[in-house]
Amino acid sequence: MVEESSGGSDASGTRPRRRSILGATLPDTRKVAVGADPKTRNKDEKAKDNVVHTTKYNAVTFFPKSMYEQYRRLANVYFTVVAGLSLNPDISPVNPFTTISPLCLVLGISIAKEAIEDAKRRAADAELNSRKVLRMNFSSQQWEPTAWKDIVIGDVVKVRNDEYFPADILVMSTTNDDGVCYVETMNLDGETNLKVKKAMEQTWNFSGADVPPDMTVECDLPNNSLYTFTGKLSWGNLVLPAGPSALLLRGSSLRNTKHIVGAVVYAGHDTKVMMNAMDAPSKRSKLERSMDNVIFFMFLLLFVMCLSGALCTALWTRSEGDDMWYMAPKFIPPEFDPASMYEVGIYSFLTSFILYGYLIPISLYVSMEIVKVFQSMVFINQDRQMYHDETDTPALARTSNLNEELGQVDTVLSDKTGTLTRNVMEFFKCTIAGESFGSGITEVERAVARRRGQELPDESNVHNPFREFGFNFFDGRLMDGMWMRHPQSKIIGDFFRVLAVCHTVICDGEPTRSKIKYEAESPDESALVIAAKQMGFFFKRRGPTSVVVEEFDANGNNVDVEYEILNILEFNSTRKRMSVICRNHDGRIRLFCKGADSIIKDRLTAQDVNDNRKATFAYCEEFALAGLRTLCLAHRELDPTEYDAWQETFAEARTSMHDREQKLMDVAEDIEKELILLGATAIEDKLQEGVPQCIETLGKAGVGLWVLTGDKVETAVNIGMACSLILNDTKQYSITPELDPEVMRLEAEGDMGAAKAKALEVVTTNLKAASQELMSDNSGTTKNCAIIIDGKALVHALATDESRNSFLRAGLACRAVLCCRVSPLQKALVTQLVRSTGSTALAIGDGANDVGMIQAADIGVGISGQEGMQAVMASDFAIAQFRYLERLLLVHGRWSYKRLGRMVCYFFYKNILFGLILYYYNASAFFSGKTVYNEWFMSLFNVFFTSFPVFAVGIFDKDVTAASGIEFPGLYGQGPRNEYFGVKLRAYWILNGVYQSVVTYFLVFAVMGQGISDRADGHSAELAVAGMTAYTCIVLTVSLQLASIIETWTWIHHYLIWGSVIFWFYFIAIYSIQNPDYIGEAVHLFAIAANSPNFWLLLVLIPIACLLPDFLIRAVRRHLYPADHQIIAEAELAKLSGKGVVGSLTFAEKGQVGQRRMSQVALESNPDRLYGKSGAAANLARKISVDGDDPNSSTAHDLNVLPSPVVGQVQEAPDRHRKPWRPMAIAVEAAQSISRSWSGSRITKDSPKSSPRVSEQDVGVEMASKG
């Protein structure tokens, strides 16, 4: 019978623990009675039923929970308070309906969105809970179809082929003779390869009704560890250990098996998949967090305005109130009673609190949500240039909350295997008995040689008749059975025999060499089995206790050889090796082992055997330098007496209900020793298409890249060179304690405590020295250097504040950081360390071991790769290839950040302008609470008349084309420098609103408030006319202000902006002719105003006076100090308009700051603190040649400082100084550079890839052309 370990813990690392309540220890296992009447027999377990709810609300909790979600936003709390106060007519200056209705509209839209999403989840839950499964009715001895929701623990169920498991089930029997069934876990972890599950031999014959009545299952308490299970199945005097190979998890499905019979051990929300279904960590973008500060400032301003009004009213009423005989002091209301100064002040404060509420934009959050959803669902999800045709995988924005955060990324932390590489493994080379086999040049070797200017022979036309998927090996000494003539044929045979037997691969399909298919848990394991097949060791089938391998006999004939599998010691991230103990046909017991070279090396025999270990490990280093993944193979023959004694210990560990995993690993250590080395395999994992170009572009954009991989240092370095991460002249700082002689001596003596302390000292000293050297010039520049640190050194680098700070300083000063041999937990810790500076960190990976890193980062990006979908399911954005990250950040991220930044600034600007006029008029009316606008005008200002034009900016506006955004990656730096939502820019918009409010108010009342008539009927302007005039001027001014910042016009822009202005005039014309009982002073208001020449004069004069200073500032700045995107946009315009191209352009040198400096400055400003916030960065000259030169080429680095480009490298021409009012001059001069950089590149007019196939251009510009 096959014995196996319970496997390692999953990524979460969660294991069941003993519970303690008030000092009383509770059992850490549950005992489940199986068979008849399980609900009654298991009532003491207090287990959950099998009904699953994934909804956020129910009928009782919907209203309170949805309201709680809305009132987490401070603005909604404020508007609700205002609406409540407005119900009191003594203090409210407006009709309560005008404050309540906009609030209800905004809250209603948000709550309706929540209800619709939850209704979809509820429908999915109902469908799932109503599915049917066959359950044994022990009374009738028949299988009965039963809804999933009615299943309880202890039930015996039958699941048929292609059906999903309704709960976590302990399998007892299958229709296969060997008790094996095949399970697909795609819905669980995204992996498409089938997993083998097997029943215990003693239960193979159970059909359901014959389950013993006293059968029980003792197992772990419910936990979220997907890959661990500790249990015992017992009846009578028989006790059988059960491991994870016998547990069928809810969410997976049965394949290639007619049916299985099993007992339910976990149901409903106790199942492992449901216990893993936790909410992703809540993430908010920097812009949204900064917006909270602006709202807080607006509240502070509101408080100051209310307080100043209350004080002035109280003081004025006390000093002047007694003389106001016309207000009938005997009947005066308390809010104007001179004898109650404090009461007057309180009433005035509350009145102002209601009146000035229009400073806070009530529709801002709803507008942002609409814009973000449009950006993600339309532009990102539908972008064909991020669609991978081979796998039919589009880009996917799993959340719309972080669109703008994509435009502010400072550092990218990336996995290697499956992220930078394809995770398509091919057997490429090997070393056996100290001899190297295999020919060919790896992709990494070619990339490194190309970067060094060397030419390697082209092997694309070389024909390999043995090549197949997973096998790209050729050597005439081994192929086609030639290895049997080799002097070391016995060792070579054992080498490939290990590959054919030591694995957990499943055979699928016809058992012939050409038609068989292998289902493996990892692609490299499949590649190794295929290599064994090619060498004559054909793995044909797997039984419950054996595997059959077709081999050559002594005469060269193919014969089937059966190996009895006695034990499987499975691979996990802690052991880093796998072993199989088997009995040969001749009765010998052998142990086959494969694992990482560092692990195998420590377990080799100390006896004097000629296993060529020195040559083998030298070849491993050589293979690693070529970018190949190595795995060492070893074996030993076991003495039957030794094995029998070990087997007793192993069986005892298998049946333990406490710390079973650790005990099994300890037992495995006792047998995996005294190994004899056979050789090592070398597997190639090819780079993904476009990875080097993407990394190079991100580097030019100033984005730092940290690679976190489990590979050895040599492999990671060469992959880094192939990816353009490390250049020829990049200075490498290698941080490792293993090379220190003192550490090695202490380890050899067994003094591990002293060795650990010394290693910490060595790592900290090296990091501190590297940090001081890199930052010695105080230039703040990114150096052409790389930090390379292994897993052991990383443990010490993260151990203390001093080592963490030194590591972070050094890493942020380099162009690249490579962390090798790291665990999933270390990936998450490094990510948190990078985030601690306040910089925006993006983590990208494709496997379950990347989930912690993805969730710890500000933005998580999952790659839909070969390792399943767990990374994607934990991510915020999902893409199919690493190269799509370039477009995701430089195009969609940059546009989203810029659009939303401008949109939010504009919202606050227009509300400042609108709200301050209320304050000015109220001040002139002695803060009596009198409004200058009509009540409905105030309510609809944010909801209708000024809300729709912002969508034009938030959705469709763009400064340069997508092609230019990628061609000039330095433009991306505007995001990390926060140029479009920084403190200075926000202050500018607020001051602009203050200035325009002053101009609007005083011009309107200077013209209309003097009592001079300008109408034919001789009447002067009433307050309602003056208020409507000011309101109209505001609508027109804010619309023109918005139009002045738009950089790309489409018919949508015209429709929304000018349509809103026209809609206002249409509304006031219709509104003013309604029933006077409803509109009060607004009767015939538009007709009265339209007959006033002053009204039309002010409509022209006020917008000009308001916008002229801002226009002049923008014009001067654009003409004398143009931004990078403005230069490129003008050059694009000149090229499209057919302007002649004059001479060559070298742009003015810009004092731009790379994004990575934002995180560096945080550390520089807080040298003793690990957790800092990014601040203003020092100036750094950034250069790029716009004529297509590669500043990161091998000939571009004479200095140690890496050029990180923005727009142009400058040689100031004599005629470069521009004359006033010639903004197109720069475009004419720039056109040649733009044209030249486009010609011969991907941005050519005739190129089919010259523009995005689906982008804002398609949605916006093409819609405009059709319109």
In one letter, which amino acid is 745?
Answer: R
Those residues with Cβ within 8 angstroms of residue 777's Cβ, 6 or more apart along the chain or in another chain: none
User: Which residue, among 276, 402, 406, 419, has the nearest Cα to 873 in the 3D structure?
Assistant: 276
Q: What is the DSSP-derived secondary structure letter of residue 804?
A: H
Tokens 């962390």 locate to 819
Inter-CA distances, 336 with 310, 324, 925, Å: 12, 10, 13
Region of residue 171 (left: phi > 0; alpha: psi -120 to 50; beta: else): beta
Rounded Cα distance, 1116 and 1220, in Å: 9
Rounded Cα distance, 480 and 496, in Å: 14
The token duo for 742 is: 């003192």
Burial of 534 (0-12, 13-18, 19+ CB in 10 A): buried
Inter-CA distances, 1113 with 898, 995, 1107, 1116, 1119, Å: 20, 14, 10, 5, 10
- Looking at the DSSP bridge assignments, the partners of residue 5 are none
Segments in 245-379 forming alpha helices (H): 272-275, 286-320, 341-355, 364-374
Rounded Cα distance, 872 and 861, in Å: 7
> Residue 40: how many CB atoms within 10 A of its CB?
10
Given 415, 494, 711, 1124, which residue is catalytic?
415
User: Which residue, among 277, 286, 230, 171, has the nearest Cα to 17 in the 3D structure?
Assistant: 230
- Residue 566 phi/psi, 5-degree rounding, is -90, -40
The SS3 call for residue 47 is coil
Q: 1-15 burial by CB neighbour count: b if 16+ within 10 A, else e?
A: ebbbbbbbbbbbeeb
Tokens 């959950």 locate to 48
User: Which residue, among 1090, 1072, 1089, 1091, has the nearest Cα to 1081 in the 3D structure?
Assistant: 1072
> Is 214 annotated in the active site?
no
Rounded Cα distance, 1255 and 887, in Å: 11
Inter-CA distances, 821 with 417, 519, 603, 626, 986, Å: 12, 27, 19, 18, 45
Q: What is the DSSP-derived secondary structure letter of residue 483?
A: G
User: Which residue, among 458, 451, 601, 470, has the nearest Cα to 1196 in the 3D structure?
Assistant: 451
Q: Indicate the length of the chain as a whole number.
A: 1267
Rounded Cα distance, 739 and 759, in Å: 10
Those residues with Cβ within 8 angstroms of residue 306's Cβ, 6 or more apart along the chain or in another chain: 349, 352, 353, 356
Contacts of 561-567 with C-beta under 8 Å, sequence gap 24+, read: 561/585, 563/501, 565/2, 566/2, 566/3, 566/643, 566/647, 567/2, 567/3, 567/4, 567/647, 567/650
Q: What is the DSSP-derived secondary structure letter of residue 1017?
A: T
User: Which residue, among 252, 10, 190, has the nearest Cα to 867 in the 3D structure?
Assistant: 190
| Cα dihedral across residues 35, 39, 41, 47: positive or negative | positive
Catalytic residues: 415
